[in-house]
Structures are given as C-alpha cells and as structure tokens.
Chains A and B, each alone.
Chain A
C-alpha cells in the first residue's frame, strides 16, 4: 500500500529544492568574503528565527501577548552553561543537554502560563514582562550564598559543540576545504532551524494548531466547541518556551559565554518585533522578520560611519545611536504602511484589505 494521497513532485520543484539547498550550503562561504563577522550574523539570524518561531506559537497562533519570552531563552542558555563549563566542572555533551534545556524551559513555560490563564491582552503582557525580568534578576543574584549563576559576571569558558574530536569552535580543514568555527556552527544551526521550522509548520496544520487559532479568534466559542482552553493555552506556552530553550542552549554553545545582560526586556521586544513585523501567525513571515531584524542593525552598523564621513566629513552620530534611530523609524513605518506585517498570512491580509472592495 502506498500513502493514501499520491504525491507527484514535479522535477521543477526538485530543481528548486536542490538550488535552495546548494545556496544555503554555500552561504557561509559567500558571507565570509565580507568577513567572518557576517557568518556570525548569519548564525544569529538563525538563532533569532528559532526564537521568533517559538514566540509565534504563543503570540501568533494562540493570540496571547508575551513580553517575557526571552526568559526561556535564558533558561536554555544557562542550562547549557552550567552543565558544560568549568563553573561546576560538569561537561555533558550538547545532545544530552539540549532536551534538558528544552524540558526545563517548557516547565518554566507552564509555570508562567498556569497563573495567567485568565488574563488577556494588556494584563497578560504586564505579567509576562514581570516574569521575564524576574528570571533575569535571579540570574544576576544567584551567586550568593551559593554560587549558582555566577551573578553579573556570567559564565565563561563554556564548552563548544563537540562530536568526538570534532569541535565546532576551531577552524579546521575538512576534505580539503578550510572551515572557520562560525562556518561549522552555521551547519549545525541550519539543521536545528530547519527542524524547528518543520515542527512549527506541522503544529500549525494540526488539531492542536487549529485549537490555538480558535482561541485566538474567539475564546468563548472555542470553549463552547469543546476545546479545553486551559490545557491548550498551557501547551502553547510550553511549546513556545521549549523552542526558546533550544535556541538558548545553542546560543550558549556558540558564544561560549553567557551573562544576564543578554536577556533583558529589550531582547524580548526585539523578538516580538520580529513576529509582528514579519506577519504574525505566518511562518514564512516570521522567518523573514527574524532575518531582517537581525541583519538591519548590522548593515547599519557597517554603513553609517562611512556614510557620515562621506557626507559630512566627520562622524556626527555614533553607529549605535543611528542604529536605534533607524530601527525605531523602520518599526513605525512598517506599522503605518504594512500593519499586517511584511509577509502577512493570507488570512490577515484579506482582513485588512476588505473595506473598499466590499460591494454595497
């Protein structure tokens, strides 16, 4: 017996897939032409993609505004940092820690979700915001009386990702090709990111995904249709948090250093911006949002000073200031001109375009 729906994949599609695969495989070498920094930026784009997709489950699918999402990223990052560094002298392998990080983040997701089940909108946003800050403050202060988190100094010398003798942190020649550390991480991240994307697509097109969307659309009607909104919302928090935890663990392994500073409110806001700007609830849109918002500040960082020198002969505003300024303006512009996001799901787009076309 073959599968119940015959699948004929036309050769054109295969060709397109092969082309994209080849492009993705070569990308880190193309980026390296502009400098290894750009390979690192690519890696960050993928970490942020995972984060944004996780948050998209809570915000985009289930319609629950979460401003403390970065806390789960922190949990994943610290789980890896504590279990693979000289800090406790524990050195577990990445593949063992990854499920632990995802699992613990998932538990934190439920811890946040459970007391906030009855809250919506602004109220939920405030509580989740507080939660995010509490986690960060804990990490800042858990260095006494027992030193768990090493406080504001953070944790250093974290193990890189290793398989056998292959460490992703060192440059290496494989099959006659020179790979830098970030280039090797790129492939690991690509693998994880593709996995996260596939799982997200599957979740959206499932019984659970529909239940999330039902709650977003009308919670009372969802209940009346027999959806256990409490469990389904908790699952949204738990799943979203797990993806945050996974992204955090890989972040920790890539950077080999974590400190509470990386997990502030501003990070939560950035990830939320990726979801909203890209197109809430639409997976390709969210990916686009994550890539654009990771790239934009970096592009500005590298172009603003030369540009000012060319225009005014000296640097009037430092790169960081311009970066935030342009970032803010871009957000405002997109909200004004593309309120449904850069790549809205078909559904939202139609919603926001109807009025004039409707007859009568």
Chain B
C-alpha cells in the first residue's frame, strides 16, 4: 500500500450461482510493472477483469485504484479513472473502420456535445482534428496504420487484437488490462506483441496481462499471479511461480500444459 502500488485488490469474491469464480483474491500491482495473471481454463481470470472494470459487481472485497476506492463504479467511470481493457473474444466495433474504433476510444478524453456537433465551432473542429491525428498515431504505434480505413471485422485476427489495444490506449489509461492478447497469433506476431508490450510499459503504462502463452508471460512479466478455481494459489516472479508445486499440479490437472522451458 505504498505510493508504488497502482492497484490494490483486497479479498475479491464473485459467485455465479453455485460457481465460485473468485474467492478472496488479494494482490497488488505496482506502478510501471507488467503483472501477469495466469491459471487453467475457468480459473476466474476473465471474471477478475469483469469485476475490476465494473461489468459485474463483486460479492465481496474491494479495489483501490491510484489511491482511491473503486467501489460500485460503472464501467464507463472505470475507464474514466484510467483502466482500459481488451476482451478475450475480441469486441471491436465490427462495422466501423479501424480508425473510427480508435477515435471512439478518445471519447472519454474529449468534450464536444450536441451543440459542438451541430454548429462545428472552432473548438470542436480543433478537437476533431486532434482526435483523428492521435488515432492515426495510435494505429501506427500498434502497427495497423495501413488498415486505418478498413472495417474492423475485415482485419486479420492478429491485427484485430492489436487494434483493440490501440483503442484501449486511446483512452489514456494508467492501467492497461489485456485478456489473452496473443491468442490466435503466430510466433512472429507474438514476438511483435512482446515488443509492443515492452514499449507500452516504457511509455509509463502499467499492464495487467492474462495470457496462456507461457513463453510470453515468462519473458515479459515482472510478477505473476496464479489463480485456480477462483483462488490465488501463487504469486511471485515468473521463475518462482514456475517451480511452485501447487502451480504445476493445477496445470497438470488442467488442459493446458505449463511450458517449463520458458
């Protein structure tokens, strides 16, 4: 709970009927780190994202983000406070262009309302120009600038994942929460993603990363939290977690094998 910590989660619980998706999960994410969140299928990783971003209300526990509690805050307010996310099953605005997707990400940091739209005053025109410029920059930053005017749904899978990251970055987050960004990517794309994550971190954004690709997790994450059946079973550096017998057992019992080679 020092000035270092950006996000503190205390005793987070979430049930879906009889399923305990999350049980008393406690952890802290520091400023500027890449924090991994791993665990077998159904461990509760995505549920944690949904509770954190206000899509579901937690049944117990609370978050403190950037020094202030994040209780019963609506998803849009969470974004405003500085948490942006991507989705495990990509949720782009499919029938809008890649550029428009990112421009929508700028919504929360811009102001123009009905009157600005109708009268197009100087301030509104300047804001629109700035939104467009910044959105192009972000498309370039994640490497999909060439597809700016293509519909989101016509982008290749890897490009869609990167576009989702650009859209999230457009909201100027302090914490970027990525739900399996490497899913469906080939080795080259995953390499590029790794460099992108490191660059984002260098630019001062903290990252919370859910990922099944253990090589990626082990190579970029400073610390890793392991969930199993909604419980925290381990936390520590990638190397420590990898050797933890509980983690090995959890993964051997599951479908995904932990690649110990790193």
Point out residues on A near B: beta carbons under 8 Å: 4, 199, 202-203, 206-211, 213-214, 217-218, 220-229, 235, 239, 347-348, 350-351, 354
Contact = CB atoms under 8 A, between A and B. Distances in A.
Interface string B97-139: 0001001111110111110111010001101110100000000
A221 B108 contact: no
A6 to B, nearest CB: 14
A350 B154 contact: yes
A203 B79 contact: no
Which has the most chain B C-beta neighbours within 10 Å: A207, A209, A239? A207
Interface stretch (B84-92, B181-189, B227-235, B241-249): B84-92
Nearest to A232: B107
B15 to A, nearest CB: 21
Given A224-B85, A227-B76, A351-B153, A210 B117 contact: no
Contacts of B103: 210
A208 B117 contact: yes
Interface string B57-86: 000000000000000001110111000110
Nearest to A235: B114
Q: Which 9 A-B pairs have the closest CB atoms?
A: A226-B108, A226-B79, A206-B117, A217-B93, A223-B75, A221-B91, A207-B112, A214-B104, A347-B95
A223 B87 CA distance: 13
A224 B55 contact: yes
B184 to A, nearest CB: 15
A78 to B, nearest CB: 25
Contact of A347 (B104, B106, B127, B151): B151
Contacts of B94: 217-218, 351
B117 A202 contact: yes
Contact of B108 (A202, A220, A227): A227
A223 B107 contact: no
A124 B76 CA distance: 23
Contacts of A202: 117-118, 120
Contacts of A222: 93, 104
A228 B76 contact: yes
A208 B112 contact: yes
Contact of B129 (A4, A199, A208): A4
Nearest to A223: B75
B117 A225 contact: no
Nearest to B129: A4
Contacts of A351: 94-95, 151, 153
Given A207-B131, A213-B96, A225-B105, 6 more contacts: A207-B106, A217-B95, A222-B104, A224-B85, A225-B79, A226-B79
User: What secondary structure prevails in chain A residues at the interface with B?
Assistant: helix
B104 A206 contact: no
B171 interface: yes
B30 interface: no
Contacts of B151: 347, 350-351
Nearest to B79: A226
Contacts of B23: none
A28 to B, nearest CB: 28
Contacts of B92: 217-218, 221
Interface centre among B95, B96, B106, B167 (most CB of A within 10 A): B95
A209 B112 CA distance: 11
A76 to B, nearest CB: 19
Contacts of A220: 55, 75, 91
A221 B91 CA distance: 6
Contacts of A229: 76
Contacts of B105: 225
Given A224-B85, A226-B171, A350-B154, A211 B107 contact: yes
Given A214-B93, A217-B96, A347-B96, A223 B74 contact: yes
A220 B53 CA distance: 11
Interface in B160-188: 167-168, 170-171
A194 to B, nearest CB: 14
B170 to A, nearest CB: 8
Contacts of B168: 225
A83 to B, nearest CB: 25
A220 B31 CA distance: 27
A4 B125 CA distance: 9
Of the candidates A211, A235, A347, the one having the most CB atoms from chain B within 10 angstroms of its own CB is A347
A209 B75 CA distance: 20
Contacts of A224: 53, 55, 75-76, 78-79, 84-85, 87, 91
29 contacts: A4-B125, A202-B117, A202-B118, A203-B117, A203-B118, A207-B110, A207-B111, A207-B112, A207-B127, A210-B104, A211-B104, A213-B93, A213-B100, A218-B93, A218-B94, A223-B55, A223-B75, A224-B85, A224-B91, A225-B76, A225-B107, A225-B167, A226-B108, A226-B171, A227-B104, A227-B107, A228-B76, A239-B114, A351-B151
A217 B95 CA distance: 7
Contacts of B108: 225-227
A311 B154 CA distance: 52
Contacts of B114: 203, 208, 235, 239
